[in-house]
Amino acid sequence: MISVEEAQEKILSYIKILEQEEKPILECLGQVLAEDIYSTIDIPPLDNSAMDGYAVRSEDTRVASSSSPVILSVIGEIAAGSMPEPEKRVNPGTAIRIMTGAPLPGGANAIVPFEDTDETSRRASQDGLSQIAILCEAKKDSNVRHRGEDIVKEALILEKGEVLSPPEIGVLASLGHSTVQVIRRPIVSVLATGDELIDIDQPLPPGKIYNSNAYAIAAHILYYGGIPRIPGIGRDSVDALNSKIDEGLDSADLLITSGGVSLGDYDIVKEVLAKRGEVVFWTVRMKPGKPLTFGIIDRIEDGRVRGVPHLGLPGNPVSSMVTFEQFARPAILKMLGRKDLTKPSIQAVIQDDITNTDGRRIFTRVAVTKHGSQYYANLTGSQGSGILTSMVKANGLAIIPENVEGVKRGDIVQVQVLDWM
Ligand code: AMP
Ligand code: MG
């Protein structure tokens, strides 16, 4: 039996970063940029107003106060999206009414917000806005946004290898990029195996259970940025399983199966894998998830052999999710070109005793809460690997190392945070 780390390393040694492709920016959330992005424009493109107010010459406002306002003649108005008329300059004694985002007119070097003028009372008294009283001094450049203050033309803005999160998508849009080069998303086929399984759109006959794993696994694939494919259910016979595996391998970058890797009479996934390629390892020193299997399936495509990585997760719903987090998650992230493959974890005070009798690394489902600066981890009820709802209640997996005989309430444990990508 190998350790969790050895298993992860073995898997990752067979996983390659995928090719790049050009896609609309909104489809690239969480993907890795495959090109450097230089700006072809200044942002903002022109000096403009940061407030609704009056564009003025700072010099004209120097002595303004609420008890002794400066009166300026209003010679025009500029809305965002329009350009000032070139002949309308702010000359001494004048002002132009201006909206947020509108370009600064010639001659002006400061914006006085409406709040610092008598605009409201002037409107109420129907005096009209041919003049405006300035109630305080506007220093040069106040409320002026300068051309290129955010992004300068020709600067390197985003670098190859960066992950596209919402702000990066926004920056790409601000530069006028409708598409971008990214490392493509992996296509991951999910084949649940077992004669007891039935599709979720069918009535439930006696002795059968719904195929929940395929959906839980596919949801995890989506969550981490892959494209899931569900070719149906693999039955517990060699021929039936082989034909479903063929369907599953079609254009897949990774095949994930659930079930059929233990020592039962009908656990044939490993046997089929061994005949079709190479079993890299079977069994990992962990709980749940011990029978985890990894191998490479040879597939003939256009006369050439393509090796498709196959991760055989155990069938118990909790085991399949816990092993997914430890092994499928880093594989998917690596294919996406992501660099940091470590699941985020915290230190928490465990609230229950946990014993470790057989030297495996235990992943227990816990609900983590924070009181002050301290995290606390409470077991989410029964830890049987078939208790799917214990996973729903959990937001973390507390890790009990293989080399300890257990932990006591009050001990500090490491907890993987399931909610953190
Ligand atoms: P196995 O690893 O094939 O022996 O499966 C272990 C147990 O996990 C089975 O007895 C089922 O109760 C459960 N199981 C297996 N596959 C699924 C699945 N796709 N969806 C829900 N439960 C499953
Ligand atoms: Mg089975």
What does the domain layout of the chain look like in residue ranges?
4-18+185-335, 20-43+161-183, 48-145, 345-417
> Distance, CA 195 to ligand 2 centroid (Å)?
7
Q: Are 409 and 396 in contact (CB under 8 A)?
A: no
Strand 187-193 versus strand 227-229 pairing type: parallel
Which one of 1.10.510.10, 3.40.50.720, 3.40.50.970, 2.170.190.11 gives the CATH number of domain 48-145? 2.170.190.11
Mutate to test the pocket of ligand 1, among 199, 244, 258 (most ligand atoms within 8 A of CB): 258
> Distance, CA 403 to ligand 2 centroid (Å)?
31
Q: Which residues of 364-380 are buried (b: 16+ CB within 10 A; e: fewer)?
A: bbbbbeeeeeebebbbb
In this prediction, residue 421 has a pLDDT band, given cuts at 50, 70 and 90, of confident
Which residue ranges have their beta carbon within 6 Å of ligand 1? 192, 194, 197, 209, 211-214, 258-260, 262, 264, 267, 314-317, 386
Mean pLDDT, residues 302-317 taken together: 96
- Give the CA distances from residue 117 to residues 103, 316, 414, in Å, rounded to whole numbers and listed in that order: 20, 70, 59
Q: How far apart are CA 252 and CA 254, in angstroms?
A: 5
Q: Which pLDDT score is estimated for 399?
A: 98
In this prediction, residue 125 has a pLDDT band, given cuts at 50, 70 and 90, of confident
Q: How far apart are CA 386 and CA 388, in angstroms?
A: 6
Q: Which pLDDT score is estimated for 81?
A: 96
Q: What percent of the chain has pLDDT over 90?
A: 95
- Give the CA distances from residue 179 to residues 185, 280, 286, in Å, rounded to whole numbers and listed in that order: 15, 39, 43
Nearest ligand 1 atom to alpha carbon 214? 19
- The residue among 173, 201, 191 whose CA lies nearest residue 43 is 173
Give the closest residue (by CA) to ligand 1 atom 12.
316
Q: Which CATH superfamily is domain 20-43+161-183 in?
A: Molybdopterin biosynthesis moea protein, domain 2 (3.90.105.10)
Task: Tell how many helices (H) and how many strands (E) occur in the chain.
Answer: 9, 28
> Distance, CA 316 to ligand 1 centroid (Å)?
5
- The residue among 78, 309, 288 whose CA lies nearest residue 187 is 309
Residue 35 is given by DSSP the state S
In this prediction, residue 17 has a pLDDT band, given cuts at 50, 70 and 90, of very high
pLDDT tops 80 at residue 127: no
Q: How far apart are CA 28 and CA 400, in angstroms?
A: 37
Fold of 4-18+185-335: Molybdenum Cofactor Biosythetic Enzyme; Chain A (3.40.980)
Q: Which pLDDT score is estimated for 79?
A: 97
Which one of 3.40.50.720, 3.40.50.10490, 3.40.50.300, 2.40.340.10 gives the CATH number of domain 345-417? 2.40.340.10
Q: Which pLDDT score is estimated for 228?
A: 98
Task: Give the contacts of 298 (CB within 8 A, at least 6 positions apart).
Answer: 276, 277, 305, 306, 307
> Distance, CA 211 to ligand 1 centroid (Å)?
8
User: In this predicted model, what pLDDT tens digit does every residue of 149-185 receive, in sequence order?
Assistant: 999 999 999 999 999 999 999 999 999 999 999 999 9
In this prediction, residue 146 has a pLDDT band, given cuts at 50, 70 and 90, of very high
- The residue among 185, 167, 165, 177 whose CA lies nearest residue 37 is 177
Q: Residue 332: how many CB atoms within 10 A of its CB?
A: 25
> Distance, CA 331 to ligand 1 centroid (Å)?
23
